[in-house]
Structure 1
Amino acid sequence: MHVQTHETWFPPHPKSVKKENKPEIPKVDFADICGQEGARRAAEIAVSGFHNILFIGPPGSGKTMLARRLPTIMPEMTFEESLEITKVYSVAGLLTEKDPLIRQRPFRSPHHTSSPQALAGGGRIPGPGEITLAHRGVLFLDEMPEFSRKSLEILRQPLEDKEIHLSRAAGTYIFPASFMLAAAMNPCPCGFYPDMNRCRCTSGEITHYLGKISQPLLERIDICTEVPAVSFSKMKKKIAGESSAQIRKRVEAVQEIQRERYKKEKFCFNGELDGRKLEKYCVMTGGADKLLEQAYEQFQFSTRAYHKILKTARTIADMESSEKIKEEHICEALAYRAYDKKYWS
């Protein structure tokens, strides 16, 4: 954490730290989720490449369940990461005397009534907000459209730069913000669009609801996936899916591929690739290149959306231990951009 200021600022004394608010990951498991194979796959891709993800579906379909289980398939933190996050929580006064070292990846889930200052951090001498408290972990926004537009727009800069800048008269404070954004939302106020047999919303209400999320913010989300209602037959059978431990082993293998690839870079994950590095590390086959070009022209993607597709495809290729990005990898990555076109077209 770097602070550019004329003032010298020290973390709170260990005896002054609070005894609550320690970030704890619920004792949950992906095996608890019934069905939702597509969303589970999307979640695994997102964690493997540290991509931002948005779950869209009707109430009670399992969006929040999926999001809360994301930390359970993340690799354990290194000692250096633990120290880094512990420093953040020390600054915020959120350490416990019993266990002063943060050992679990943060999972922060601020309420939609949270103010922009609560998310970004603030005060006369700015302290970390939810964005920084989620560093190296997950920031989960449930009911995303219910957050104020100002609060959501604050996310744009840290999602791009992996740090957040707070300016005060004394100087500029820079806090780390390398987090994975996970968000969940209904497709409309009542939650059942586009099922017009159940949806009670007018077209104007739907447009207004979806319009709360700006296009620039939407383009910073790599993966957008639907979470449909679970059928009665699947719910009754209660067939357990793969456990978090099984998925985490695959995630660890994929992340090891990325660490080896980027060992000379200042980043570790595909989701952190910038435009200058894409051409070097995202080599495609001829067919994949042509397919992506056709999609780019047909759907009129922005440059940022194009980069997101390519980075997601890189992760999918790594999951299959493929050196080059193939057509099928591009197809799946494009599918994760299709839903935002479906709802926000």
Structure 2
Amino acid sequence: MGVSCRSWGFTPAGAEVQLFTLKNSSGCKADILTFGAALIGLEIPREDNTIDVVLGFDSLEEYMNDGNYMGATVGRVAGRISNASFNLDGQKIRLDSNEGPNHLHGGKNGFSSRVWEIAACNRNEEAPAITLSLHSPDGTNGYPGNLLVETTFTLKGTTLRIDYRAITDQPTPLNMTSHAYFNLNGNGCKINNHELKLHAIKSAATDKAMIPTGEINNISGTAADFTQFTPLGNTAQDRFYVLDNEQGELVPAAIGRCNESGLEMEILTTQPGMQLYTADGIAPGTAGKKGSLYGPRYGFCIEPMGYPDAVNHPEFPSVILNPGEKYHHSTEYRFRNFTAVPEND
């Protein structure tokens, strides 16, 4: 129990990548990779076994070649920035374009493809924790400012908490999140029968390129309405939902559950919204960890974050971090048992 560490290989540039394992007295275990500050394993104890509830790979090479941001911490800005550009204090900022003309998840050399450093380690057996840090130099992918970010993973009871912190020396956009893919029935299973409940009735409208138009719509009664427990089914989802919370307040955002395993996951966050994505972009037959094969709908992402493309929509809450300010957002993933209600009740 506590925290253990081992080498997990080297990048082509010769940087060593380490794997940290958190294991607490409740029997939960989390594996965090310094490449991309990625959550690559999260085991939740059951009565007679454990379930690894996140998708991943068995080797560093697979993570370096992955285009799905599997388990990674993404930034500087999660989501899309239209035309890979925005105006900041009267200056046109141009970013690298890595999805057609647009900028996605921080760009080609974003947080997800960097090797992070170990900043702190808490070996407490009740709540082991690890903090990884990253320096993003001024001009990285076009972003202004020298940015220092930290991501802390804490495993307490059956809750995984992630805290994101950062400071900058110039105004710069920052919108970090975890891109973990969850499956509450374990690896190699589809998530169509998972039920989802979201504490959100509004969603950001997007164009064909998934860029927000600026409109926030009430989606009550539509196929995007998850205000009551609803099976994910066969309908692809890639949508930003708006939460109703005060700045910095940790509030319930979503609950996912799986009847087959009897496992439920509740997500709480301080962010103003979340992106729901049902992994429909994963290529069929993608090799996953422990011999699993992945494809569309083999996992789902709930990514707590600020509004996508907020830098080009002044009507959205700002994601600009200024010198002297401290960026701090938190997300908790709480796991528990539940009993499925019979369909005729």
Give TM-score, length-normalised by structure 1: 0.26
| Pair member with larger Rg | 1
Which one has a larger percent helix, Structure 1 or Structure 2? 1
Higher relative contact order (CA 8 A, sep 6+): 1
Give TM-score, length-normalised by structure 2: 0.26
